[in-house]
Chains A and B, each alone.
Chain A
């Protein structure tokens, strides 16, 4: 553990507006509007869209447009949007100029979000900023085209950005009631992503007792983010440490703790009022360590007087997935590169497709369609053999991450 004395954070370096928040596409603009609150004071908010980004509550609006589009937007075609963004690369790069950290918020699947985000990430990197993207993947019901566009874009984004945190919208089904309205469901997705942005922001912006550096975060999210999960929980009162742990373990986005057991890197950030005790930190970390024996854990703790009696914990868990396109492999040796993971097995991750929940709790459970995932072969239809949160039906070599040429 590092020294407990407060250190100057990345964002304290006094030099103009250092953080730029980009909302790309329609979803991105909406997200941006939500992010643009006093809490995030000190950041620049920029909306980028092929439609007129009127809805966005942004300081700067960039309207990408050319004759081909005839004012009709990208029409949901990522390729068209990408070409357009490439054409106006210099505009994007100029917008990123001067920033040391760039957040990109986007909903992948549509035209603008999928097409522009990777180009923007590249532009921001060329402008010398660290790039972290927060994206949502479309619902399964949104159709094949959006799904494939999202997948392509995500790969490109991974290659271009320092880190990507993505939220699979489908998972949100577990959080919301079946009878909820569409609007509300979309809002839930947005607010979850927002929580992640806020969590990361707090990590970086608040004076930490135990500091989490931006590079730690990039280490965590780089190369392994296809299936990362995050959860933010809060509790107050004398038993708050225990309550927080219970809430984390029951969090639907962490699959009732299973995501933790399967993850290989976990970032934990604790924030609380002045009465945060070492015993509480210890207790939370102890439990989490127990939950994810295989993971590399990065933890940070911060004190914020405004929180009063509350203890908030942000958990970002990342799971190793298929290797990235070659572009990234080249990037991994770049001077800025953080931890480079050994190339994972060229197999998609099997764990996500288990259709049964680990515990038959009272939670709402939405089964997932097994899309583009490895089958459990012979044991596909049988009850999974669970041992301390691991599904023993998945080949041992996959779970232990053994690789060969």
Chain B
């Protein structure tokens, strides 16, 4: 058996599938993917659980599969969460430096962070993440560590991701009910962006769009920090539903057609083309216009991108994302989707690969696993094992750091 402490497990309860990824941390703390379990999901709509029993059953299958593959027992997981109720916004905290010599101390930094987290949320909402951006000393921007600097006014920007507390609890309670410990909950969009971006991309600015089954998450990284995030409860399911509606087909059939003949554009060669659908006996029961099929998909995807592009424009990021747009998630497999996104965002668009983690390459190359892999990465970053203390004072420092971290989390 492995030493349990270096196992990190990411669990994503998605709309189309439940996915468990097991990672093992090496001595440096970098994760290596050693196991993968998945199960089709039927109890989730738009990223939120609507049938607990089904999800429990499917989750058990996925966990068992991952345990078998990685040869570990899974006890704790990092849980990915999403849903249309999740919002992200930036908040600025202020703190006057009161010490006589105007030197900024670690306590001042703690205080200003605390102030930045004191935000006015509706009573039923809870904070999922509060991510620190940059400090300002006397209005001077771009300070990453102000301790030891001189100044009278310390400010900090925070990116706060929050959601409806009860709806977040649904997933957490279900996982806890299965005797699994939840180490932390992570916003899916954040996890995906961790999986597909390298530090250079985060620095020069990138937009990650995770096109999932029931929801689409988007996160903007710029100057090494998260600047913007959001969820649109529209995903691959909507494509299938539109097709089912427009072509008058059952959902399962629409889903299959989407995978086999879908495209983000109406191709010239499909104009006037029809597809014959066969029944169980091989007889043609219905013909479907291929042009119509592709137009329905194209319109939906175009609309989704337009909504995101519009929001980005309002937030004023359009001209700063030099690494362009990175698409991930299962729906990003639709052929031509990158070209469509390029047309709408007027930026370089690429498909995301989780290539900065080691391990099972078969899993790493597929966009639908980006979130779960990102969860493992998030867990590994948080769990990076502290260096064993060499003497007593170092030990004290470590304990102090731990408290510091706890404070930062709370």
Name A residues whose Cβ lies closer than 8 Å to a Cβ of B: 347, 374, 376-379, 381-383, 385, 387, 392-393, 395-398, 400, 402, 404
Do B307 and A404 have beta carbons less than 8 Å apart?
no
Tell me which of A347, A376, A379 has the highest count of chain B C-beta atoms within 10 A of its own C-beta: A379
Distance, CA A46 to CA B248, complexed state (A): 48
Q: Contacting B299 at CB < 8 Å: which of A383, A393, A402?
A: A402
Q: Contacting B245 at CB < 8 Å: which of A392, A398, A402, A404?
A: A398
Do A395 and B242 have beta carbons less than 8 Å apart?
yes
Which chain A residue shows the least CB distance to B301? A396
Report if A377-B251 is in contact (Cβ < 8 Å); known contacts: A387-B307, A396-B242. Answer: yes
Name B residues whose Cβ lies closer than 8 Å to a Cβ of A: 45-46, 50, 84, 232-234, 237-238, 240-242, 244-246, 251, 289, 291-292, 295-296, 299-300, 302-303, 307
Smallest beta-carbon distance B80→chain A, Å: 19
Q: Contacting A374 at CB < 8 Å: which of B232, B238, B245, B300?
A: B245
Smallest beta-carbon distance B237→chain A, Å: 6
Q: Contacting A400 at CB < 8 Å: which of B46, B241, B289, B299?
A: B299
Do B234 and A392 have beta carbons less than 8 Å apart?
yes
Do B299 and A377 have beta carbons less than 8 Å apart?
no
Distance, CA A327 to CA B234, complexed state (A): 40
Which chain A residue shows the least CB distance to B234? A392
Do A397 and B299 have beta carbons less than 8 Å apart?
yes
What residues on A are CB-neighbors of B232 within 8 Å?
A: 385, 387, 392
Report if A385-B295 is in contact (Cβ < 8 Å); known contacts: A379-B45, A379-B241, A396-B242. Answer: no
What residues on B are CB-neighbors of A395 within 8 Å?
A: 238, 241-242, 245-246, 296, 300
Smallest beta-carbon distance B51→chain A, Å: 11
Distance, CA A377 to CA B246, complexed state (A): 11
Report if A385-B289 is in contact (Cβ < 8 Å); known contacts: A378-B241, A395-B241. Answer: no
Report if A404-B251 is in contact (Cβ < 8 Å); known contacts: A377-B241, A379-B241, A396-B300. Answer: no
What residues on B are CB-neighbors of A397 within 8 Å?
A: 242, 246, 295-296, 299-300
Do B240 and A378 have beta carbons less than 8 Å apart?
yes
A-B contact pairs, 22 of them (CB 8 A): A374-B245, A377-B241, A377-B245, A378-B237, A378-B240, A378-B244, A379-B46, A379-B238, A382-B45, A382-B46, A383-B46, A385-B232, A387-B232, A387-B307, A392-B238, A395-B300, A396-B299, A396-B300, A396-B302, A397-B246, A398-B245, A400-B299
Do B233 and A378 have beta carbons less than 8 Å apart?
no
Smallest beta-carbon distance A344→chain B, Å: 14
Distance, CA A395 to CA B291, complexed state (A): 16
Distance, CA A379 to CA B292, complexed state (A): 22
What residues on A are CB-neighbors of B295 within 8 Å?
A: 397, 402, 404
What residues on A are CB-neighbors of B299 within 8 Å?
A: 396-397, 400, 402
What residues on B are CB-neighbors of A347 within 8 Å?
A: 245
What residues on B are CB-neighbors of A378 within 8 Å?
A: 45, 237, 240-241, 244, 251
Smallest beta-carbon distance B385→chain A, Å: 42
Distance, CA A147 to CA B223, complexed state (A): 63
Q: Which 9 A-B pairs have the closest CB atoms?
A: A395-B242, A385-B233, A396-B299, A377-B241, A396-B300, A382-B45, A378-B241, A396-B303, A395-B245
Distance, CA A377 to CA B296, complexed state (A): 15
Smallest beta-carbon distance B251→chain A, Å: 6
What residues on B are CB-neighbors of A379 within 8 Å?
A: 45-46, 237-238, 241
What residues on B are CB-neighbors of A392 within 8 Å?
A: 232-234, 238, 303
Contacts A377-B245, A383-B84, A404-B291 known; 6 new A-B pairs at CB < 8 A: A379-B46, A379-B238, A392-B233, A393-B241, A396-B299, A397-B246
Distance, CA A387 to CA B307, complexed state (A): 9
Distance, CA A393 to CA B46, complexed state (A): 10
Which chain A residue shows the least CB distance to B215? A385
What residues on A are CB-neighbors of B234 within 8 Å?
A: 385, 392
Which chain A residue shows the least CB distance to B48? A382
What residues on A are CB-neighbors of B296 within 8 Å?
A: 395-397
Do A404 and B46 have beta carbons less than 8 Å apart?
no
Distance, CA A235 to CA B35, complexed state (A): 67
Report if A404-B292 is in contact (Cβ < 8 Å); known contacts: A382-B45, A383-B84, A385-B234. Answer: yes
Distance, CA A404 to CA B234, complexed state (A): 24
Which chain A residue shows the least CB distance to B302? A396
Distance, CA A378 to CA B233, complexed state (A): 13
Which chain A residue shows the least CB distance to B251? A378
What residues on A are CB-neighbors of B46 within 8 Å?
A: 379, 382-383, 385
Tell me which of B237, B246, B291 has the highest count of chain A C-beta atoms within 10 A of its own C-beta: B246
Distance, CA A3 to CA B41, complexed state (A): 63
Smallest beta-carbon distance B277→chain A, Å: 18
What residues on B are CB-neighbors of A381 within 8 Å?
A: 45, 50
Do B233 and A377 have beta carbons less than 8 Å apart?
no
Which chain A residue shows the least CB distance to B233? A385
Distance, CA A374 to CA B84, complexed state (A): 23
Smallest beta-carbon distance A349→chain B, Å: 13
Do B45 and A377 have beta carbons less than 8 Å apart?
no
Smallest beta-carbon distance A385→chain B, Å: 4
What residues on B are CB-neighbors of A402 within 8 Å?
A: 295, 299
Smallest beta-carbon distance A380→chain B, Å: 10
Smallest beta-carbon distance A369→chain B, Å: 21
Tell me which of A374, A397, A400 has the highest count of chain B C-beta atoms within 10 A of its own C-beta: A397
Do A377 and B244 have beta carbons less than 8 Å apart?
yes
Distance, CA A387 to CA B232, complexed state (A): 9
What residues on B are CB-neighbors of A383 within 8 Å?
A: 46, 84
Q: Contacting A393 at CB < 8 Å: which of B50, B238, B291?
A: B238
Smallest beta-carbon distance B50→chain A, Å: 7
What residues on A are CB-neighbors of B246 within 8 Å?
A: 395, 397
Smallest beta-carbon distance B30→chain A, Å: 38
Distance, CA A374 to CA B246, complexed state (A): 11
Distance, CA A37 to CA B313, complexed state (A): 55
What residues on B are CB-neighbors of A376 within 8 Å?
A: 241
Smallest beta-carbon distance B408→chain A, Å: 34
